[in-house]
Amino acid sequence: MFKNFVLIAAASGALAASAAAGRAADPQEAVTTFSLENGMQVVVVEDHRAPVLQHMVWYRVGSADEPVGSSGVAHFLEHLMFKDTDNMKSGELSATVAANGGQDNAFTSYDYTAYFQRVAADRLGLMMKMESDRMTHLRLTEGDIATERDVILEERNMRTENNPRALFSEQMNAAQYLNHRYGVPVIGWKHEMEELDRADALSFYHTYYAPNNAILVVSGDVTPDEVRTLAETYYGVIPANPDLPPRIRSQEPPQRAARRLEFRDARVAQAYVNRSYLAQERDPGAQREAAALYLLSEILGGGQTSYLAEKLQFDQKIAVYTGAFYNGTTLDDTTFDLVVVPAEGVSLDAAEAALDETLRSFLRDGVDPEQLDRIKLQLRASQIYERDDVAGIANRYGRALAVGLTVEDVQAWPDLLQAVTGDDILAAARTLLRREDSVTGRLMRYEEVTQ
């Protein structure tokens, strides 16, 4: 399975009740939502252009919900979900999907774990039969545990231990979060992964895998009524877990000291500077600041015409690459990241000083209205293109609902982005660029060590 370690996290707050079925407001996204009696949320996105569909189950649990000392168990369980159940043999689900001409996979992030299949539209019942089976009937043998633990450790070796940028990113996150679990990597700390056992996996499974902690998303050639009938048949019979714990996480204390770190590794081909700030995420009914931050990331570092690129790459020729990254679809405070890769012969000190000077000049200059209009136009265009990607739409709703946003929040987001003004962006930048909330990291080759 590929694992999509989205380096993001999302808005706390209760899920808005969507018990009453209702057709979504936006006529261009045919989204219907309702809930089953056991509390399982359902989102249906109709698209009848081709006889295929995507079936997803999102659990509102991710690595940031793991017990202390058991980092990686959310992702470990994701792997184990492909093993024996009372009714299926290990690997049978994926083999059945493939035999039916489909594809399946799963991914884990800080805030959610999701399973999905893409199949012909008439196979929806079969998908639900298998997915609902592993929601409650997972069997785990000690042999599965030992085998799959080796697999996730090898995955960590491949993706993290052998990748200085991934290791650097882990250390940046750990420094960014003083108290919140986003400081712990999704895949887990190696020494804790090595200790994960059957009891850890089963405890996590029995606590969090239940219909009242799940969101069903079906997109494609299907009607809401068809989905409802099948969902009631397969998922509706599973009892809610009455002991599902409230989703309460340790929050950040005030961050009072700017941090810096240097990561040195002989395998680094290209040194760079990464500045990260703690940042507001999208909250239900309160997404304006996140919208402004999203546009700020586009304006500062969203490509070759961005402010950082113009100043540092083209005017001053200090950098060969610049970028800004923000993803607000998280349950709790997220990060806003800036990256500067210095040009040959430019020191990291000089690159960082230029970054800071450029941020100051941006705060003085303000937002170029033409650039903002251009970005908004591109956004509008890409949102229209996105409507052709039903898998993307399903992901968008599933992710948002998994982090506590509502269907209304998802549908309000494009217009909120269009309504952001240059002053909003500048105000968001002033709030964001607080030294005390920042970590400045340098990824360096070993030979650059000066002492």
Catalytic residue positions?
78
Would you count residue 356 as binding a second copy (CB under 8 A)? Answer: yes
Q: What is the Cα 370 distance to its own chain's centre?
A: 31
Specify the residue, 178 or 343, whose C-beta has the smaller distance to a second copy. 178
Nearest-approach distance from CB 243 to a second copy, in angstroms: 15
Specify the residue, 404 or 441, whose C-beta has the smaller distance to a second copy. 441
Q: Do 277 and 434 meet the contact criterion of CB atoms below 8 Å apart?
A: yes
The count of chain residues that interact with a second copy, using the rule CB under 8 A, is 40
Separation CA 7–CA 18 (nearest Å): 28
Specify the residue, 69 or 303, whose C-beta has the smaller distance to a second copy. 69
Specify the residue, 190 or 374, whose C-beta has the smaller distance to a second copy. 190
Beta bridge partners, 117, equal: 55, 104
Separation CA 281–CA 328 (nearest Å): 4
Specify the residue, 183 or 392, whose C-beta has the smaller distance to a second copy. 183
Residue count (the chain): 451
Chain residues 7-26 in contact with a second copy, contact rule CB under 8 A: none
Nearest-approach distance from CB 167 to a second copy, in angstroms: 6
Of 101, 92, 72, 73, which is closest to residue 137 (Cα–Cα)? 92
Beta bridge partners, 119, equal: 53
Binder among 23, 48, 206, 435 for a second copy (CB under 8 A) = 435
Question: Residue 205 in 3-state DSSP?
Answer: helix
Question: Residue 90 in 3-state DSSP?
Answer: coil
Nearest-approach distance from CB 360 to a second copy, in angstroms: 7
Chain residues 228-287 in contact with a second copy, contact rule CB under 8 A: 248-251, 253, 255-264
Nearest-approach distance from CB 202 to a second copy, in angstroms: 18
Binder among 23, 206, 317, 360 for a second copy (CB under 8 A) = 360
Would you count residue 159 as binding a second copy (CB under 8 A)? Answer: no
Tokens 């009891």: give the residue. 199
Of 260, 270, 328, which is closest to residue 297 (Cα–Cα)? 328
Residues 6+ apart with CB under 8 A from 123: 100, 102
Specify the residue, 242 or 254, whose C-beta has the smaller distance to a second copy. 254
Chain residues 52-81 in contact with a second copy, contact rule CB under 8 A: 68-69, 71
Binder among 28, 304, 382, 451 for a second copy (CB under 8 A) = 451
Which amino acid is present at 123?
R
Would you count residue 441 as binding a second copy (CB under 8 A)? Answer: yes
Separation CA 422–CA 351 (nearest Å): 27
Nearest-approach distance from CB 240 to a second copy, in angstroms: 23
Q: What is the CA radius of gyration of the chain?
A: 23
Binder among 1, 15, 120, 174 for a second copy (CB under 8 A) = 174
Of 53, 26, 32, which is closest to residue 384 (Cα–Cα)? 26
Q: Give me the residues that bind a second copy (CB under 8 A), please.
A: 68-69, 71, 167-168, 170-172, 174-175, 178-179, 181, 183-184, 189-192, 248-251, 253, 255-264, 356, 360, 435-436, 441, 451
